[in-house]
Amino acid sequence: MNIAIIRFIDSDEQLRIGVRDDNGATYALATNSISELLAKSLAEIRKVIEDSLDKKEPVSPSRILAPIDNLTEVWAAGVTYKRSRIAREEESDHADVYSRVYNSERPELFFKSIAWRVSGPTDPIGVRLDSAINTPEPEIALVCNSFQEIVGVSICNDVSSRSIEGENPLYLPQAKIYAGSCALGPGIIPIWMISDIYSLSISVEVERGGTTCWQGTTSTSQMHRSFEDLVRFLFMNMQFPHGVFLSTGTGVVPEMSFNLTADDVVTISIEQIGHLSNVVVPSTTENFPALFVQ
Ligand code: DO4
Ligand code: MG
């Protein structure tokens, strides 16, 4: 049996944390938040989940939210796959920056989002109005607790502006952080449920006007670095008392002529983890009102 930790609104409009099984049944989890769970050790988290599966207190989600809350952060790694290195070299006048980081011991790690800005599986994702080339980035996200342990995995869409980053690598925060640029979900799969984290297929499909306009596939076997090493660098000289999501980089990048646009639907599928689908809208305040309330 596979299970996912989910954050949701129930039929009484209450925000809850639960565990959903393969059959779609959801049971209440004895925690008030994802951040409270991620403050615990892996052994404690496993016990909370197993106790809830023993008790089987059924709950009825009416809306699934992004599986992140409170002070838990999202960070991301870049240029961890050869395809990403080649794509950055194509889009940038500073190609050597990317080949140097690809071959260095120290990885590229960047801040991606605070929890309240993250889109969940029923929210839209955004494209910047001042960006000529936008792209989805399908990535496996490691979910780490406060003890630097990888306790689970999820799906992250590291939506990005290729043209803004390509213009100047110092524009990276603007290319990566804006309303609707980070989607996570649908849930967190506990790490002990994953059989081999280094051989999971990752695919992405963009649907436009009812037909597929771009798709791509890779596998975590193509990663140029180890997940443990990315986590080690992230926690070096920094604590995450409420846990952290670390998105591990994309191995699928479209050709330069592709531009993600409003009304496209992006679906990312990762083996053993699930599917994350989001509709694309312009990245305006009006389009992301829900993200301003936790
Ligand atoms: O170097 C810029 C970011 C690259 C990135 O986000 C990725 O490789 O996934
Ligand atoms: Mg990325």
Q: Is the CB of 119 under 6 A from ligand 1?
A: no
pLDDT of 192 reads 98
Those residues whose C-beta lies under 8 Å from the C-beta of residue 160, and which sit 6 or more positions away, are 134, 135, 137, 175, 176, 181
- Return the ligand number nearest the Cα of 78: 1
Q: Which two tokens stand for residue 288?
A: 């992301």
Ligand 1 nearest atom to the CA of residue 249, by list position: 9
Q: Is the pLDDT of residue 90 over 50?
A: yes
Q: How confident is the model at residue 294 (pLDDT cuts 50, 70, 90)?
A: very low
Q: What does the pLDDT average to over 269-276?
A: 98
Q: Distance from the CA of 78 to the center of ligand 1, in angstroms?
A: 3
In the predicted model, what is the mean pLDDT of the chain?
A: 96
Q: Distance from the CA of 250 to the center of ligand 1, in angstroms?
A: 7
pTM above 0.75, yes or no: yes
Q: What does the pLDDT average to over 84-113?
A: 92
Say if strands 201-208 and 61-65 run parallel, antiparallel, or are unpaired.
Answer: unpaired
Pocket test for ligand 1, best of 102, 163, 250 (most atoms within 8 A of CB): 250
Ligand 1 nearest atom to the CA of residue 137, by list position: 9
Q: Distance from the CA of 15 to the center of ligand 2, in angstroms?
A: 30
Q: Is the CB of 91 under 6 A from ligand 1?
A: no
For the stretch 19-50, pLDDT in tens is 999 899 999 999 999 999 999 999 999 999 99
pLDDT of 148 reads 98
For the stretch 176-199, pLDDT in tens is 999 999 999 999 999 999 999 999
Those residues whose C-beta lies under 8 Å from the C-beta of residue 145, and which sit 6 or more positions away, are 37, 38, 39, 40, 41, 42, 45, 151, 243
- pLDDT above 70 coverage of the chain, percent: 98
CA–CA separation, 166 and 157 (whole Å): 19
Q: Is the pLDDT of residue 89 over 60?
A: yes
Q: Is the pLDDT of residue 93 over 90?
A: no
- H/E stretch holding 167 reads helix 162-167
CA–CA separation, 107 and 130 (whole Å): 29
- Least Cα distance to 202 among 130, 250, 150, 152 occurs for 250
pLDDT of 290 reads 64
Q: Is the CB of 149 under 6 A from ligand 1?
A: no
Q: Is the pLDDT of residue 293 over 70?
A: no
Q: What does the pLDDT average to over 53-58?
A: 94
Per-chain residues with Cβ under 5 A from ion ligand 2 = 137, 158, 250
Those residues whose C-beta lies under 8 Å from the C-beta of residue 58, and which sit 6 or more positions away, are 25, 26, 27, 28
The SS3 assignment for 120 reads coil
Q: What does the pLDDT average to over 232-261?
A: 98
- Return the ligand number nearest the Cα of 182: 2
Which residue's CA is the closest to the ligand 1 atom numbered 3? Answer: 78
Q: Which two tokens stand for residue 189?
A: 């799969």
Q: Is the CB of 84 under 6 A from ligand 1?
A: yes
- Least Cα distance to 191 among 1, 39, 3 occurs for 3
Q: Is the CB of 137 under 6 A from ligand 1?
A: yes
pLDDT of 46 reads 98
Q: Distance from the CA of 260 to the center of ligand 2, in angstroms?
A: 15
Q: What does the pLDDT average to over 119-131?
A: 97
